[in-house]
């Protein structure tokens, strides 16, 4: 799910881490014209290719590899070979698959082997017999009864298998659900048509969504000959991923934007069935109010909301409930401001219900695909979607081995151009990634500040936090960059293990640490530490992920198999444990020095990691109130929205949560969010969790 260098760094040094037209038979179309270089003997062979093609593979819209496929007729059988490979930030991700079926695409055999992300491997096989199906996962075989209808496919890749699956579905009466092997069930839904222009010609494509291969929806487009043209999805580490048929790349941005807006429309329809209240006037009666200002809790309170705005909040005896208001009995509950997640990557529309279910009513997206996130933000803001208010940081990067996306700032002109473009699209911030050079960083910060934007992000390779902040960077993502400037001098040839040991031994009273803290205070630097992310990647078989974050047991099945996976403890495991504890201590020291700390998760375990982040702040020495404020009023101030959001006060936007316990008594009670109110609309959180396959 994560495209940040922080996660990649941790993974590397822990060695374990993070339709009628379609209903036509497969070969009803005329086979493509043979390649001019293809031999006459091959063309004349009874096993000649019936179909072949190529998809360009993209991550965050950046072309990183390709997939080729060939379908060969062998008597009454079809044999398909697929080769899929991309290189993601220097790491090769190769995958191959074979598929054999009858002419109507009923599977007979399927095998897939290789990598489906930088950090995950796959080695699975399916053998179809007359009454049963045998499945191999690495060395283990299992058996299951053969359903009347089924297909063989294992995740988002290769795209060719998705194409064949939709063809099979369409030519077999388009069932509401389709069993898949090695595991799972999928839902395929026609979502209308789109016109795109390719090479000056307009072409009408059929749009579909697929659910069940990954967590959430994928969006696929097919041409009139039932060829897959584009797939907008996420890969096995939950990053934006696109497979575009060769020749259609110029429409990539259109596909990405439409996937976002269509997904939001689907969720808007879903939201109509979630219980709660859409009353114009709403009164929360009898709850304990923690308004987020730092005042003592107010028992037996009333909060009145009209047209999405708080119009009264105080003791029951002082508040008059307007006639006709819908009353919500909040006795025994606690009312708090809606939470903020200040480090998200809203990479698929399902994050909308998840954030709301967790009580997050405002979310800062820290770098995304331009077309996708703008479409999602606008759909939510205009009531055409389901999700929290989105604040956007536009990502830029320089060319280099860790480069990401397509927004390159390799020149001063590019730095200004991208900053202007993001500003024109109403982004609040710029986000600096790993390969931006110092001079370009200065241009981005100068232009952003001129336009009233702030700058957040990583510390690029080769720079220190001192340099980035001196260059104008206002905020730092990830505590590791602060720890780096607290290190004592190390030998030039110090190894990564040496640095790891030194980081775990940082003395917060040392001159280096005190200099770093003073510098951050002087510059008013804001830090989002993402402690929950770092802690999560200390998991191993002796310390399973679910023991770190219990929410792992509640995520959708497509996520559970990945999030619950861990390897044996590495020899360096004790060092990592020590490092995370040091990171927690550093965050406590920064907070006590007055440095603004804002809660952010970098996704990790969707929804639940926000709770863990807040809990870790209490472990770092925050009071429960201060920890809650790190996810309410502090980020509102940081983003210049404290007049509108962040506390439960008259005149502010009605973004609130109702919790079935008091988190000031135990910060772990913050996990008991029962209802969320966003812009005056109340939703049942248990139903929001279930709407995207999670357990409440």
Number of structural domains, the chain?
2
Residue 627: DSSP 8-state:
H
Q: How much is the pTM?
A: 0.87
Dihedral of alpha carbons 169, 172, 174, 179, sign: negative
For residues 249 and 392, state if they share a domain: no
Q: What is the pLDDT of residue 435?
A: 95
How do residues 194-240 score in pLDDT, each as one tens digit?
999 998 899 999 999 999 998 889 999 999 999 999 999 999 888 89
Rounding to the nearest 10 degrees, give the CA dihedral for residues 31, 32, 35, 36.
90
Q: DSSP for 466-493, please give it.
A: HHHHHTT--EEESTHHHHHTTSPP--TT
Q: What is the pLDDT of residue 1?
A: 40
How do residues 146-162 score in pLDDT, each as one tens digit?
999 999 999 999 999 99
3-class SS of residue 197? strand
Residue 45 predicted with pLDDT over 80: no
Other beta carbons less than 10 A from residue 355's beta carbon: 31
- 303 touches 642 (CB < 8 A): no
What value does the mean pLDDT take over residues 620-634? Answer: 98
How do residues 9-38 score in pLDDT, each as one tens digit?
333 333 333 233 233 333 333 333 333 333
- Give the span between the Cα atoms of 649 and 108, in whole angstroms: 64
Q: What is the pLDDT of residue 10?
A: 36
Residues with Cβ within 8 Å of 37's Cβ and at least 6 positions away in sequence, in order, are none
For residues 187 and 51, state if they share a domain: yes
Quick one: what percent of the chain has pLDDT higher than 70?
A: 93
Q: Is residue 137 assigned to a domain?
A: yes
Residue 98 predicted with pLDDT over 80: yes
Summary mean pLDDT of the chain: 91
For residues 84 and 230, state if they share a domain: yes
How far from 392 is each of 152, 179, 336, 367, 426, CA to CA, in Å? 39, 38, 24, 7, 8
For residues 375 and 267, state if they share a domain: no
Q: Is residue 214 assigned to a domain?
A: yes
3-class SS of residue 99? strand
Q: Is residue 108 assigned to a domain?
A: yes
Lowest mean pLDDT among 101-105, 371-375, 558-562: 558-562
- 605 touches 536 (CB < 8 A): yes
Using the 3D structure, point to which of 436, 457, 478 is the last residue of a domain. Answer: 457
How far from 294 is each of 245, 336, 623, 663, CA to CA, in Å? 56, 11, 11, 13
For residues 69 and 181, state if they share a domain: yes
How do residues 344-368 score in pLDDT, each as one tens digit?
998 889 999 999 999 999 999 999 9
Q: What is the pLDDT of residue 48?
A: 62
> What does the block give as tokens for 585?
């201590």
Residue 333 predicted with pLDDT over 90: yes
Q: Which residues pair with 140 in a beta bridge?
A: 137
How do residues 580-611 score in pLDDT, each as one tens digit?
999 999 999 999 999 999 999 998 999 999 99
Other beta carbons less than 10 A from residue 497's beta carbon: 12
Residue 169 predicted with pLDDT over 70: yes
Q: What is the pLDDT of residue 47?
A: 52
Cα angle 234-63-89, degrees, rounded to a multiple of 5: 75
Q: Is residue 546 assigned to a domain?
A: no
How do residues 463-503 score in pLDDT, each as one tens digit?
999 999 999 999 999 999 999 999 999 998 988 899 999 99
Q: Is residue 257 assigned to a domain?
A: yes
Residue among 104, 56, 405 nearest 243 (CA): 56
Q: What is the pLDDT of residue 220?
A: 98
Q: What is the pLDDT of residue 406?
A: 85
Residues with Cβ within 8 Å of 159's Cβ and at least 6 positions away in sequence, in order, are 55, 67, 84, 228, 231, 243
Using the 3D structure, point to which of 230, 251, 271 is the last residue of a domain. Answer: 271
Using the 3D structure, point to which of 409, 425, 457 is the last residue of a domain. Answer: 457
Q: Is residue 436 assigned to a domain?
A: yes
Cis peptide before 303 (omega within 30 of 0): no
CATH number at residue 405: 3.40.50
- Give the span between the Cα atoms of 490 and 416, in whole angstroms: 37
Residue 549 predicted with pLDDT over 50: yes
Instruction: Look up tokens 């009628």; give the residue.
Output: 20
By residue range, what is the domain housing residue 114? 45-271
- 430 touches 419 (CB < 8 A): yes
How do residues 260-303 score in pLDDT, each as one tens digit?
999 888 888 888 888 888 899 999 999 999 999 999 999 999 99
Instruction: Look up tokens 């996990």; give the residue.
Output: 671
3-class SS of residue 206? strand
> What does the block give as tokens for 674?
């029962």
> What does the block give as tokens for 158?
């290769």
What value does the mean pLDDT take over residues 558-570? Answer: 85
Q: Is residue 57 assigned to a domain?
A: yes
CA 94 to chain centre: 23
Task: Tell me the HSE value of 153 on the side-chain side, using a 13 A CA sphere.
Answer: 29
Other beta carbons less than 10 A from residue 46's beta carbon: 8
> What does the block give as tokens for 528?
């989002």
Residues with Cβ within 8 Å of 594's Cβ and at least 6 positions away in sequence, in order, are 521
Q: DSSP for 209-247, please give it.
A: EEESSSSSEEEEEE-TTS-EEEEEEE-TTS-EEEEEETT
Quick one: what percent of the chain has pLDDT higher than 90?
A: 81
Q: DSSP for 311-369, please give it.
A: EEEEEGGG-PPPTTPEEEE-TT-EEEEPEEEEEE---STTHHHHHHHTTEEEEEE-S--
Q: Is residue 98 assigned to a domain?
A: yes
Cα angle 412-464-490, degrees, rounded to a multiple of 5: 145
Rounded CA Rg of the chain: 26
- Give the span between the Cα atoms of 41 and 52, in whole angstroms: 17
3-class SS of residue 189? strand
Q: Which residues pair with 291 in a beta bridge?
A: none
- Give the span between the Cα atoms of 346 and 326, in whole angstroms: 33
For residues 413 and 265, state if they share a domain: no
For residues 83 and 224, state if they share a domain: yes
- Give the span between the Cα atoms of 521 and 208, in whole angstroms: 51
For residues 168 and 51, state if they share a domain: yes
How far from 272 is each of 206, 260, 359, 564, 681, CA to CA, in Å? 26, 19, 19, 32, 11
How far from 201 is each of 231, 246, 384, CA to CA, in Å? 21, 16, 31
Cis peptide before 237 (omega within 30 of 0): no
């Amino acid at each position: 799910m994560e495209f940040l260098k922080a996660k990649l760094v941790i993974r590397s040094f822990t060695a374990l881490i993070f339709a009628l037209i379609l209903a036509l038979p497969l070969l009803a179309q005329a086979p493509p014209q043979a390649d001019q270089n293809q031999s006459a003997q091959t063309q004349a062979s009874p096993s000649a290719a019936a179909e072949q093609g190529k998809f360009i593979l993209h991550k965050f819209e950046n072309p990183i590899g390709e997939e080729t496929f060939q379908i060969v007729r062998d008597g009454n059988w079809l044999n398909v070979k697929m080769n899929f490979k991309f290189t993601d930030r220097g790491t090769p991700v190769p995958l191959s698959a074979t598929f054999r079926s009858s002419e109507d695409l009923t599977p007979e055999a399927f095998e897939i082997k290789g990598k489906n992300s930088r950090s995950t491997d796959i080695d699975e096989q399916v053998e179809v017999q007359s009454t049963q199906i045998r499945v191999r996962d690495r060395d283990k075989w299992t058996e299951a009864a053969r359903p009347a209808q089924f297909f063989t496919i294992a995740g988002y890749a290769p795209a060719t298998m998705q194409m064949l699956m939709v063809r099979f579905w369409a030519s077999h009466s388009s069932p509401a659900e389709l069993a898949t092997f090695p595991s799972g069930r999928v839902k395929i839904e026609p979502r209308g048509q789109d016109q795109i222009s390719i090479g000056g010609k307009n072409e009408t494509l059929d749009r579909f969504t697929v659910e069940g291969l990954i967590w959430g929806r994928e969006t696929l487009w097919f041409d009139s000959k039932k060829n897959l043209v584009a797939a907008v999805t996420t890969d096995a580490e939950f990053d934006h991923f696109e497979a575009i048929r060769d020749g259609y790349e110029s429409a990539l941005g259109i596909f990405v934007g439409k996937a976002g807006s269509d997904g939001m429309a689907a969720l808007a329809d879903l939201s109509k069935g979630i219980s709660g209240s859409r009353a114009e006037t709403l009164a929360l009666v009898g709850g304990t109010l923690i308004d987020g200002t730092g005042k003592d809790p107010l028992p037996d309170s009333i909060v009145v909301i009209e047209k999405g705005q708080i119009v009264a909040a105080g003791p029951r005896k002082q508040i008059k409930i307007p006639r006709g208001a819908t009353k919500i009995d909040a006795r025994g509950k606690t009312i708090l401001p809606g939470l903020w997640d200040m480090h998200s990557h809203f990479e698929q529309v399902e994050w909308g219900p998840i954030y709301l279910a967790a009580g997050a009513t405002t979310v800062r997206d820290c770098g995304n695909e331009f077309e996708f996130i703008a479409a999602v933000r606008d759909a939510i803001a205009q009531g055409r979607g389901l999700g929290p208010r989105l604040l956007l940081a536009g990502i830029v990067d320089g060319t280099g081995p860790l480069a990401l996306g397509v927004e390159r700032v390799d020149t001063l002109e590019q730095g200004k151009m991208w900053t202007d473009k993001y500003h024109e699209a109403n982004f609040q911030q710029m986000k600096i990634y790993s390969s931006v050079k110092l001079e370009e960083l200065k241009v981005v910060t100068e232009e952003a500040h001129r336009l009233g934007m702030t700058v957040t992000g990583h510390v690029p390779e080769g720079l220190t936090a001192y340099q980035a902040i001196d260059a104008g960077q206002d905020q730092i993502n990830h505590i590791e960059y602060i720890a780096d400037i607290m290190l004592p001098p190390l030998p030039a040839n110090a190894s990564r293990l040496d640095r790891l040991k030194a980081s775990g031994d940082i003395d917060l009273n040392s001159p280096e640490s005190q200099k770093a803290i003073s510098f951050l205070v002087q510059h008013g630097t804001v830090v989002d530490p993402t402690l929950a992310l770092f802690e999560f990647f200390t998991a191993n078989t002796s310390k399973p992920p679910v023991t770190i974050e219990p929410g792992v047991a509640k995520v959708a099945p497509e996520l559970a198999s990945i999030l619950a996976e861990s390897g044996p403890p590495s020899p360096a495991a004790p060092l990592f444990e020590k490092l995370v504890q040091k990171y927690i201590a550093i965050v406590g020291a920064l907070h006590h020095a007055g440095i603004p700390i804002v809660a952010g998760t970098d996704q990790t375990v969707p929804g639940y990691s926000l709770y863990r982040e807040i809990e870790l702040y209490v472990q770092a020495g925050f009071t429960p109130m201060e920890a809650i404020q790190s996810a309410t009023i502090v980020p509102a101030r940081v983003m210049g929205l404290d007049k509108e959001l962040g506390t439960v006060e008259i005149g502010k936007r009605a973004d609130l949560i109702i919790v079935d316990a008091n988190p000031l008594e135990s910060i772990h009670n913050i996990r008991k969010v029962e209802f969320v109110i966003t812009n005056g609309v109340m939703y049942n959180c248990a139903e929001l969790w279930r709407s995207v396959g999670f357990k409440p």
